[in-house]
Every structure is written in C-alpha cells, then in structure tokens.
Amino acid sequence: MTDLWSDAEIGEMIGDGTVYSFEAEGNISKGKCVYLSSDMKVSQCSAEGDAIGIALRDVNAGEFCPVCVRGVVKVTAYGAITRGTAVQTHTNGDVKALADQAVDEGGTGTYTIYYTRRLGFALQTFADGDTGLIMMEK
C-alpha cells in the first residue's frame, strides 16, 4: 500500500469543490463512498455503483455528514486503477475502476455508457490498497 499524496488525509478535499450535508442513517467512515439511502439521508456504500460522493468525516447515525460531490478528494483504491480511468464505488466503500459498458442498441453502432455508476476519475495510477486523489464529478 502506497500513499500517492501524502499532503492530505483520506477523505480530505484538495482545493475548492462542492460539499453537501446529509443526515447519516448509519455509521460512516471518512473517505468512504456514500449513497442516498432515504430522502436527504446517506449511508456508507455496500454495493457497487450507487455512490453520490465521498464522506469528509467520520459520523454516527443521526449526525450530519459532509459529502464531497464535486472536487478533488483523497480515497483508497480497491484493485488497480489507471490515471484518467472512470471510478465507481466498491462494496466496501472504497473506489474501483469502472469498466466500459458496451451497449448495442440494435442499430448500426455500439455505445459506451456509464450513467449513474460513474463517480469521477482517477488523477493518479493506483495499485490495490493505495491512497491517492480522484476528481469527483457526480
């Protein structure tokens, strides 16, 4: 495990971005992906592809959780990720590479789609367990 950006802690934003506050429905760890589990409430991700952002602090159920939905934030990688690759959440709340999804709509072309699973993209090349920066663009 390598720290690719030692100037920040996991779950810390680098520079400006967009942060929203949501009530936590369960305990959430700083730097983990979160999803909307109810109206205006979030939970730590336990499934792939449903994240809306990254928790910026540890919170308990009932507390308000600041969530980065746009900007640069430090996270932990699950599996290898090449810089510039789209990322999504893994079932443990870390980020993983988002594979292209080729879709043939029955016409003459095949299209690559991401839809809501795309969380952002990697700014660095990660090995499994590395910590580093992603650009959130939900």
Higher pLDDT, 106 or 2: 2
Question: In terms of CATH architecture, what is 13-137?
Answer: Beta Barrel (2.40)
pLDDT tens digits for range 59-77: 999 999 999 999 999 999 9
Give DSSP secondary structure letters for 39-65: TTEEEE--STT---EEESS-B-TTSEE
Q: What is the pLDDT at residue 111? A: 63
In this structure, the chain runs to a length of: 138
* Gyration radius (Cα) of the chain, Å: 15
Pairing type for strands 41-44 and 13-24 reads parallel
pLDDT tens digits for range 89-127: 999 999 999 876 666 666 666 666 656 688 999 999 999
Going from the C-alpha of 107 to that of each of 104, 111, 112, the distances in angstroms are: 7, 10, 14
Confidence of residue 134 (pLDDT cuts 50, 70, 90): very high
Q: What is the pLDDT at residue 103? A: 65
Residue 112 and residue 101 in contact, taking contact as beta carbons nearer than 8 Å: yes
Q: What is the mean pLDDT of the chain?
A: 92
